[in-house]
Structure 1
Amino acid sequence: MRTFLQNEQLRLRSPEPEDLEFLYRCENDTSLWQYGSTLSPFSKYALHQYISQAEQNIFVSRQLRFMIDSKKDDCVVGTIDLYDFDPYHNRAGVGILIDKAYQRRGYATQALKLLIEFAFGFLHIHQLYAYIPTENTDSLALFGKLGFEQSGVLKDWNMGLDKYKDIAVFQLIAP
């Protein structure tokens, strides 16, 4: 029987109350806001409510957040999300964040592989996509390495800290 969401090094799992401090730190890191749609800080109360009430059914909430657990380090090293799930067109966006202390250890590659296997093999999603700032060369390389193809560039799409930024659109169609 095939297993999803884990390998020898990593486990992808739902957020737990113990993840509050990690999520609080990540969601309130203003240097990361330019990559998403966050416009103001999250309180611990709001994040606690999210964790306790999060609907982990992608067909209901249209999104899934996973915590990335390192089995070796026995800690959370990041998050990976399916978002904007569209059940009619059967596609979802992918977002990933690896804590700075754990970058460059292969966690992003492994977590993205696990998410792709889960999305295509279990959820039977037809297509995954990612919006990546063109200056984020590490993410461009990561998604390209795992078979995503760049299908376009959205000019001046996201406001960065000081100017508008171009966003590369990457897509991966299920085999």
Structure 2
Amino acid sequence: MDFPVLETNRLKLIEIKEAHVDHIYSIFSNEEVIRFYGMAPFQQKEQAINLIQSFSKNFQEKRSIRWGIYLKETYELVGTLGLNNLSLAQKRTEIGYDLLPAYWRRGIVSEAVEAIIHYCFEELKLFRIGAVTFTENESSYKLLLKLGFQQEGLLRGYIYQNDKSNDTLLFSLIKPEWKQSF
């Protein structure tokens, strides 16, 4: 399967390659970006190379897809967006995203997620898209609710980060509900 490149008005969602190592390092070494990511900030570029390689391997194995969020206007890679725990047989996945703080509150993630939702339901023929957010990540869960996701529950102590187990909220969007708003 070829990597699916997607486009919106302002964005191109592209395959992340080793040529993007500086951008990926910039994103994942930023403490504000990974604050709710479930990992420590990168300290070395080699970590970015390893992450890019894992994105590629997981795509080849049809376990996940991770896009780079590329701004058409400035030719910059400013974040990533992906499908985790992808199960084509079970018709489900989980969505995750990150964006450099300089680009927050511009509707970029919302625009990218809408394109991914369409791709999931129309191209991959999935039934369910899940999302997990830290309880404190108000921006993320408000975005999910705005896009039609429903909160399903609380996952207690679900993500270990910063030497503690953190509670998270679980959201989902299923195709019949998306169709109603589409």
Structure-1-length-normalised TM-score: 0.84
Counterpart of 1:7 in structure 2 is: 8
Q: Is the 8 A contact 1:56 1:64 kept in 2?
A: no
Instruction: Please name the residue that 1:112 is paired with.
Output: 113
Q: Does 2:115 align with 1:123?
A: no
Q: CA deviation at 1:6?
A: 0.8
- Gap regions ≥5 residues in structure 2: 177-182
The answer to whether the 8 A contact 1:130-1:171 is kept is yes
Cα 1:102–1:30, aligned 2, differ >3 Å: closer, same or farther? closer
2:49 counterpart SS class? helix
1:148 Cα shift? 0.5
Matched, 1:38 2:43: no
TM-score (norm 2): 0.81
**Closer, same or farther: CA 135–50 of 1 in aligned 2, 3 Å:** closer
Q: 1:69 to 1:31 in 2, by over 3 A?
A: closer
Q: Secondary structure at the match of 1:125?
A: coil
The count of corresponding residues between Structure 1 and Structure 2 is 173
Q: What is the Cα-based RMSD across aligned positions, in Å? A: 2.6
| Residues 50-59 or 136-145, more deviating | 50-59
The worse-fitting range, judged by mean Cα deviation, of 81-90 and 50-59 is: 50-59
Distance 1:40 1:79 in 2: 15
Q: In 2, distance between residues paired with 1:155 and 1:13?
A: 34
Partner amino acid, structure 1, of 2:96: G
- How many percent identity over aligned positions? 27
Say which is worse superposed, 112-121 or 34-43, in terms of deviation. 34-43
Structure 1 pair 138/90, CA: closer, same or farther in 2 (3 Å)? Answer: same
Distance 2:53 2:152 in 1: 37
User: Counterpart in 2 of 1:143?
Assistant: 144
Structure 2: distance between partners of 1:32 and 1:9: 21
Aligned to 2:7, what secondary structure does the other structure show? Answer: coil
1:4 touches 1:117 (CA, 8 Å); kept in 2? no
Q: Which segments of 5 or more consecutive residues in structure 1 lack a partner in the other structure?
A: none
How much has 1:128 moved relative to structure 2? Answer: 0.6
Asked if the contact 1:59–1:87 (Cα under 8 Å) also holds between the matched residues in 2, the reply is no
Matches within 5 A, 1:1-175: 5-30=6-31, 32-33=33-34, 35-38=36-39, 41=42, 43-48=44-49, 51=52, 54-55=55-56, 58=59, 60-161=61-162, 163-175=164-176
The verdict on how the C-alpha distance between 1:142 and 1:48 changes in structure 2, with shifts beyond 3 A counting, is same
Supply the AA of the counterpart residue of 1:140: Y
Give 1:103 shift. 0.7
Distance change >3 Å, CA 49–CA 68, structure 1 → 2: same
What SS class does the counterpart of residue 168 from structure 2 fall into? strand
